[in-house]
Chains A and B, each alone.
Chain A
Amino acid sequence: MGGGDGLMEYPTQWRKPPLIANAGLRYGVLLLVIIYTYLAMGSVEVNWSRVYEGLDRGWRFVQAFLQPDFTSRWSNISQGLIESLTMTLTSTVAGVVLSIPFALGSARNLAPRWIYLFCRSFIAIARSFQEIIIAILCVALFGFGPFAGFVTLTFATVGFLAKLFAEEIEATDPAALTAMRATGAGWLQQINYAIQPQVLPRIIGLSMYRLDINFRESAVIGIVGAGGIGATLNTAMDRYEYDSAAAILLIIIGLVMIAEFVSNVIRTRLQ
C-alpha cells in the first residue's frame, strides 16, 4: 500500500455510511434527543422507599403466578368470563353489521360527498378516543354492567372496521362496478354483485381480527364498571389477592392465544 507512483491511497477498512448523511442534521437530532430525554426524565419522580416496599409485593405476585388460585373466587371469575365472552361476540356481530353501512358511506367511489364527510368524521372521532374513555361515558349513560360494555365495544368496532372496510372498497377493481352499471343494475345490486365478492374474504378476516381485539378490550373495560373479567381482576388486585389475579391473567392469556390461533386458521383458510 505504498504511496509513490501516483497511486491513490485507499482506506484498508470500509466504513458504513451514517444513517443521516448531513452531519449537522445528524448531530442536531442527537442533541434534541438528549435534551428531550433529560427534560422528560426530570419529570419522572421515583419514590425509592415506596418502590422498595413494593418489591416485596411484586415478589409475592411472581410467586402467585407459580401457584394461581382458580378455586376460591371461581364463581366471580366464571361470571366475569361469561360476561366478557358474551360481550365480545354480541358486540363484534353488532359492530360488523353497523360498520358495513358506515364503510359504504365512507368509500369515496360509492358515496356522495356529504355522506362521505359525515361518515369519515364519525369514524375519526370513534377512533381517537380510547375504549376506556368511551366505556366511562357509556357507564354514565347506561348504568353499570355488561350492556355498557357492549355499547362501548360496538362503537369502537364500528370505528375500527368501517375505516378498514372502506379502504378495501376503495381498492376494488372498478371494472366490475362499471360492468354492473352498464347492465342497468340498481345501487344495491351493484354493491351485492360488484363490490361484495371482491371484499368479502378481507371483511371476514378483519372481523375475526376484531373479535380477538374485542376480547382483549373486554378484559379491561370492567375496570371502569362496564362488566367483564376486568371488574373481577380489579377487585382481586384491590384485595391484594394476587393468586386469584394471577389465575385471571393466565385465563386471559390462554383465551387470547386460543382466539389468535383460531382466527389465524380461519383467515389462512379464507385466503
Chain B
Amino acid sequence: MKKEVFPAYWEKHSPQVRLCRWVAWLVFVALCVFCWQEMNRDTLWYFVTDAPNQFRDISGRMWPPRWSYLNELWEPLWDTLNIATLGTALGVVIALPVAFLAARNTTPSRHFVRPIALYIIAASRSINSLIWALLLVAILGPGLLAGIIAIALRSIGFIAKLMYEAIEEVNTTQLSAITATGASPLQVLDYGIVPQVLPSFIGTSIFRWDINIRESTILGLVGAGGIGLKLEESMSTLAWPQVAVIFVAILTTVVFSEWISAKVRHLLI
C-alpha cells in the first residue's frame, strides 16, 4: 500500500502564489519609499522639526479668542449659508435632466446621449469647487455669484451620479402597468419613475447641501465670498485671535448643518 505524504503544516497559498505576493509587496513598499524620497527632495527638515515650537507659538497667539469679532462674522456666515443653499438648488436643477439622460432605462440614446451625460458627471466630479471658484472669479469677478455657481457646478456630478443610480434601480412592474394603460412616455416618467425615486433624490440633495456648507466655508480664499474671505483677511494680517473665532464659527456651522441634514433625512427615509 502506497503511503501518502501529507505536509506537516497547512498553508493557505502555494509557494508560487506566496512568491508573487511577496514580490508585489516588495514593489509596493519600494514604490512608497521612492515616492517619499521624491516628495521630500525639497523639504527643509529644519522647518519640520521646528513644527512643535510653531504649534505652541500659534496656539499661544490664538488664545484668548477675540469673541467680539463674532459680530463681524454674522454676515459672512449668512453668505456662506446662501452660497451652499442656492448652489445646491442650482446644482439639483441642472443635475435632474443629466441624471435622466444618463440612466440606462430613461436615456433617449444609449450609445450617443448616455456617454455625454456620463462625461458631464465625471468632469464635474473631478474638479474641486475651489478650482471652479478660481475660474469663475476670473470670469465673473469676486463675489457670491461665483461661489454659488462653483458649488452648483461641483454638485452636478455628485447629485446626478446618485440620482441616475436610483433611477436605474426603479421597479419595472409599475412602469409596465402604467404603460399598459396607454400612458405617454412623459406620463410614465411622472407617475411611474418620479414617485419611486423622489425620496432618494431629496435625501441626496440634502446630503450634498451638508457637504456644500463645508465646501463653501473656504471659497472666500479665492475671492468667492463667505466666511473664507474673513479667514483670508485675518490670516494675512496674522490676527490669530480672530482666526480662532472663525474656526469656532465654522466648526459650529458644520456640526449644526450635519445635525439638520441627519434629522431631515431621518424624517424622509
Q: Which residues of B contact A257 (CB under 8 A)?
A: 122, 126
Q: Contacts A90-B35, A133-B250 known; A256 to B43 CB distance under 8 Å?
A: no
Main secondary structure of the interface of B (DSSP, over half): helix
| CB contact between B218 and one of A133, A142, A230 (< 8 Å): that residue | A133
A30-66 vs B, CB cutoff 8 Å, 1 = contact: the mask equals: 0000001100110111110011011101100100000
CB distance from B114 to the nearest CB of A (A): 16
Q: Which residues of B contact A50 (CB under 8 A)?
A: 140-141
CB of A266 within 8 Å of the partner chain: no
Q: Are B143 and A46 in contact (CB under 8 A)?
A: yes
Q: Which residue of A lies closest to B222 (CB)?
A: A223
Determine the distance from Cα of A138 to Cα of B122 in the docked complex, in whole angstroms: 30
Q: Are B139 and A54 in contact (CB under 8 A)?
A: yes
Q: Contacts A89-B32, A142-B51 known; A43 to B214 CB distance under 8 Å?
A: no
Main secondary structure of the interface of A (DSSP, over half): helix
Q: Which residues of A contact B251 (CB under 8 A)?
A: 125, 128-129
Q: Are B140 and A219 in contact (CB under 8 A)?
A: no
Determine the distance from Cα of A46 to Cα of B146 in the docked complex, in whole angstroms: 10
Q: Are A45 and B143 in contact (CB under 8 A)?
A: yes
Which parts of B153-202 form the interface with A (CB within 8 Å)?
190-191, 195, 198
The count of A-to-B residue pairs whose CB atoms sit within 8 angstroms is 147
Determine the distance from Cα of A61 to Cα of B131 in the docked complex, in whole angstroms: 14
| CB contact between B144 and one of A44, A85, A147, A223 (< 8 Å): that residue | A44
Q: Contacts A55-B139, A57-B138 known; A86 to B35 CB distance under 8 Å?
A: yes
Q: Which residues of B contact A260 (CB under 8 A)?
A: 122
CB distance from A197 to the nearest CB of B (A): 11
Q: CB within 8 Å of B: which residues of A?
A: 16, 19, 36-37, 40-41, 43-47, 50-51, 53-55, 57-58, 61, 82-83, 85-87, 89-90, 93, 124-125, 128-130, 132-133, 136-137, 140-143, 145-147, 150, 216-217, 219-220, 223-224, 227, 230, 233-234, 237, 240, 245, 249, 252-253, 256-257, 260
